[in-house]
Each structure stands twice: as C-alpha cells, then as structure tokens.
Amino acid sequence: MNVTFYGAVREVTGSMHLLTTENDRILLDCGMFQGRRRESAEKNKVLPFDPRIITNLVLSHAHIDHSGRIPLLTKRDFTGRIVCTRATCGACEYLLPDSAHIQESDAAYLNYKTLRSALVQIKKSSRAKKISSRGLKDIKALLKKDRHELKTQTINELIDHYHLERVRSLYTSEDAWQALTYFDGYPYRHPITIGKDTTCTLYDAGHILGSAITIIKAKENGRRFTIGYTGDIGRFNKPIIKNPTLDFGEEDRQIDLLIMESTYGDRLHEPVQDLKPHLKQVLVDTYNEGGTVLIPAFAFGRTQELLYLLHELRNENEVPRVPVFVDSPLAINITRVFGEHPEVYDQEAHQNFLQKGRNPFSFKGVHFVQSVEESMALNREDAPHIVIAASGMCEAGRILHHLRYKIHNPKTTILIVGYMAENTLGRRILEYSKAYENSGRSGAPPLVKLLNKEYPLKARVVSLGGLSAHGDKNEMRRFLKESNLSIRRIALVHGEEEQSLAFGRQLNEEGYSVSVPKAGEMVHIK
C-alpha cells in the first residue's frame, strides 16, 4: 500500500494524492494549480495517471485548488464516483461551472490578442498586396473591434482561417456540468464504501462549509490500515461553522499515516477575538477619510464570513451604516448554498440569528449586485461604501475593475482578508504596499499592472489576518494534541516549502515522525 503525492507538495495549490492498495486506487482531491499563469496552465494539463484506473475520488472540500481539475478527470474517462459532503456537492454546482467560464473567457481573450497581432502584421506586410480590397477592408474593420464585440466562435473561426495556434481552455462549461453528475453527497460521521476493500468516513474540518477530514480504512494482504487526510484544517472559534473535529469515532483513531496541511506552518494569525475590533477600526478610519473599502474576497467562505461580521457590527451599532455591495454573482449563489445547510453552523450562529428568525448574511444596507451594468455603476460612486468582490487573489473577476478605478486614490482602503499565493496579483499588491509603507511612502508609488495597464498604488492596503480559513501553526498543533487520534507518521502537504519544512522541524522536535514529500514522491505504508 502506498500514497503518491502529485499536487500541493511544497506549494499550496493543485492538491492531489493517490492511495494505491492491492485492489483499489483512491484519489484524494483533484485540484487546480494557481499562481504563474503559464506555468500553472502547463501543470494543469497533465494528469500523471490514466483516469480510468481510479476507483473513486474523495473530495475534501469545494475550493478550486482542491476540486478544479475534476472536470478534466471526468472528461478523460474517469468512471468512478466523487465522494464528498452534501454541502460540498452544493458548492461545486456553482464553483466548477464558474471555473470553466473563467477558463473559456481567458482563452477567448488570448485568442483575440493572437488574432489581432496577426492581423496587424498582415496589414503591414507584403502579404497585404495579395489580399483583395474587400479583404483588407474586413481586416481593418476587425482591428477596430474590441474583444467583447467579437463572438468567441468568430474569433476561433478566424484563428483557424489564418492558421494561427488556438489557445484552448482546460475544459468547457459542458465538461463542468457533466462532472457534477459524478458527485455523491454524504453526511459527516457516516461510513462510506469507496472500493473493494476500502471505506472512508468524513469529519468536519472547520475550514469552510462542508470541508472534511477524511479517515480511510483499507485492507491489504489481510491487514487493515488507516490513513487520514486533513484536507485544509480550519481555525477554532471562527464565525458561522463549527470547529475542526477533535473527537473521532473509536474505530478511526489509530492512524498509520496522516496527510496534513501546513499552509501556515511557521506563522501565527491574529487572534479570532480581535477580528471584529480590527475590522471595525478599518471601516471607521476609511469612513472618516470619505473613502471606499475594497475587499477582494473568495466567493466561497470569506464573503459569507464578512457579511456575518458586518451584520453583527451593525446590530451592535459599532460601524457607520454605509452601503455594502456584494459584487459577485458566484458569491451570491454560494450564499444561497450556505442558507441550505444550517446543520453545519456553530451554536453561536444558531443562537444569534437562526433562532431569532434572522438571515445571518442579509441586513439593511447590503446590496447583491448581479448585472455588469450595476457593477460598473459602482465605479462612479463617490460616497463612502464597501465593495466585496471576487476573486480573492485578484486574479480574475469584478474586483479587477474596482481596483482599476480606485487603486490610485489615497482615500481607498484595500482590505486583504485571505491568503495570497505567490505570483498572484493580490500578493503583488500586498508586497508592493508593504515596501512602500516601510519606505515612509517616499518617492513615487509602486505601479501595479491591471488589465494590461499600470496604475499607481496610492490606496492604503490593510491585512486582516484573523479571517484566514486555515489554522496557524499553533492551531494545527492543537488539533494534533487535543484530538483523540493516535498517529504513527505524518506527511506534510499544502504549504510553501519553507512553511512545510519549518512545521515539520517543530513537530519532529515534539516527538512526531514527520516527512515533507516532494512532487511525485511515493510513501509506502507498512
């Protein structure tokens, strides 16, 4: 029996691990790599095994870095089932088609750029003499059109006509919808058969709605083995959802190998109890400046937590009652999924909202923005307001347009509320701002490239670390110490190399047997 680590190994995206027994091959997650676009695109194309050999897939949660390549898996003839919690099923119904849409849009934009560049060259070259006057007129007309004036089908036909190389999306919206037919949702703490000799049980990971710690029991050569996979471990005492599970079923406690995340393996977060006071201060300060608060937020999880906290602060009359705009159709749909799964809410959410007949995510002054026209109109809004928009790492979505209009304004606050992976726009904004602030804001402000144009970063950038959905090093250590699991070995994944190695050193010093595998490494379980 062995586990091969294919993704999120010494990095934080692309989660994918393969458990192989004498009879079964169980895939743990099938996530998308994110970061450097070209490098990630190449990595995402490759599935390092034939999907037809996979018995079943167990999905820890719906975030795209854990689920994003599932449509590619099913497109390439995977025949098993996808096992996850019911809430994860509900979230994936929106997240996977949205992922496909983003890829299709990106591909169309790149193809438009290729086509436009080629047409400019044709117009200037000697080839133009061989083209009819009607043909040249058509080329000139095309060059006057922007991306949104040309249908994707038209762009692709012209790409093929001029024998240019077409960029293709990893999968299509149709592929994503087809992948959803493979999903089976289950409750927590319910044994599930996932192979000839393999079962699993899902426990609440406290990371996001529906996230799961998976305990797998497998048989080989007459012997039983137990493998744990934490997925992403959440924080303790966070809003809305329950804490990470510490009390596991008696039959699931003896762990031969625990595959454990290490995102914040050498860092401590802002205490959860400081979240509301810190958020309050940011909102009050920006309001007093007459500015706007822009919050790049993950559509799933972070947006709902922010709405919950803003609702509480308003009920307590702690913040100015400025308009709050949730400018993400995906976040709006995911908020509906939250409303469908109150069974995973913590006691506080039940007491403060549900038992009083209140919706935790809706209050007077919050506006859910659906149309592009409504979204664009916000850029003309001068009065103080709050915009929550995807994507969380500023790599796509409507947040880009809001940044374009507001990033140069010193009255704007960009509130960072989540992890920013290396080589993302969000990470660059955060790092540029830190360097500029450390210099005393001397000299010209740093330039940030947004939608192919550079803008001066004059906005104030504030990080609200306490909202992270990942436990910090002490919370992960708390999980290990206070849970009733007895663990023989730990393999650390889902962390940038220095984080994983630092956490591994600390755990080894505390008496655990810990390794940090490399990409493609196989670990035998004996």
Taking 80 as the threshold, does the pLDDT of residue 148 lie above it?
no
The answer to whether residues 243 and 201 belong to one domain is yes
Q: What is the pLDDT of residue 99?
A: 94
494 or 137, which is more confident: 494
- Residue 477: closest CA among 260, 273, 270: 260
> Is 238 within the bounds of a domain?
yes
Single residue among 161, 191, 207 that ends a domain in this structure: 161
Q: What is the pLDDT of residue 100?
A: 96
The answer to whether residues 134 and 282 belong to one domain is no
> Is 169 within the bounds of a domain?
no
Mean pLDDT of 86-105: 95
| Number of compact structural domains in the chain | 3
> pLDDT digits over 311-346, tens only?
999 999 999 999 999 999 999 999 999 999 999 999
> pLDDT digits over 298-309, tens only?
999 999 999 999
The answer to whether residues 307 and 436 belong to one domain is yes
Q: Domain containing 277 — which CATH number?
A: 3.40.50.10890
> Is 496 within the bounds of a domain?
yes
Taking 60 as the threshold, does the pLDDT of residue 409 lie above it?
yes
Mean pLDDT of 505-509: 98
The answer to whether residues 223 and 330 belong to one domain is no
> pLDDT digits over 229-278, tens only?
999 999 999 999 999 999 999 999 999 999 999 999 999 998 988 999 99
Q: What is the pLDDT of residue 129?
A: 56
Task: Round the CA-based radius of gyration of the chain to a whole number and report it.
Answer: 24
Q: What is the pLDDT of residue 242?
A: 97
The answer to whether residues 86 and 106 belong to one domain is no
> Is 13 within the bounds of a domain?
yes
Report in angstroms the alpha-carbon separations of 150 from 123, 138, 142: 19, 13, 9
The answer to whether residues 377 and 510 belong to one domain is no
Q: What is the pLDDT of residue 147?
A: 66
Taking 90 as the threshold, does the pLDDT of residue 78 lie above it?
yes
Taking 80 as the threshold, does the pLDDT of residue 469 lie above it?
yes
The answer to whether residues 208 and 297 belong to one domain is no
Which range, 153-157, 218-222, 333-337, is most confident? 333-337
- Percentage of the chain exceeding pLDDT 90: 79
Single residue among 467, 488, 512 that ends a domain in this structure: 467
The answer to whether residues 153 and 189 belong to one domain is no
- Percentage of the chain exceeding pLDDT 70: 96
Helices marked H in 316-472 — which ranges? Answer: 329-339, 347-352, 372-378, 399-406, 425-438
The least confident of 133-137, 158-162, 456-460 is 133-137
Q: Domain containing 46 — which CATH number?
A: 3.60.15.10
Taking 70 as the threshold, does the pLDDT of residue 127 lie above it?
no
Taking 70 as the threshold, does the pLDDT of residue 110 lie above it?
yes
Q: What residues make up the domain containing 231?
A: 2-97+178-268+469-524
HSE-CB at 168 with a 13 A cutoff on CA atoms is 7
The answer to whether residues 236 and 293 belong to one domain is no
158 or 370, which is more confident: 370
Whole-number Å distance between alpha carbons of 264 and 470? 7
Which range, 73-82, 129-138, 395-404, is most confident? 73-82
What is the pLDDT of the chain when averaged over all its residues? 93
> Is 303 within the bounds of a domain?
yes
> Is residue 504 a contact partner of residue 477, using CB atoms and an 8 Å limit?
no
> pLDDT digits over 16-42, tens only?
999 999 999 999 999 999 877 889 999
Q: What is the pLDDT of residue 175?
A: 98
> Is residue 198 a contact partner of residue 219, using CB atoms and an 8 Å limit?
yes
Q: Where are the beta strands (DSSP E) in 116-221?
A: 183-186, 192-193, 198-204, 212-220
CB-neighbour burial class of residue 81 (10 A; exposed 0-12, middle 13-18, buried 19+): middle
The answer to whether residues 456 and 501 belong to one domain is no
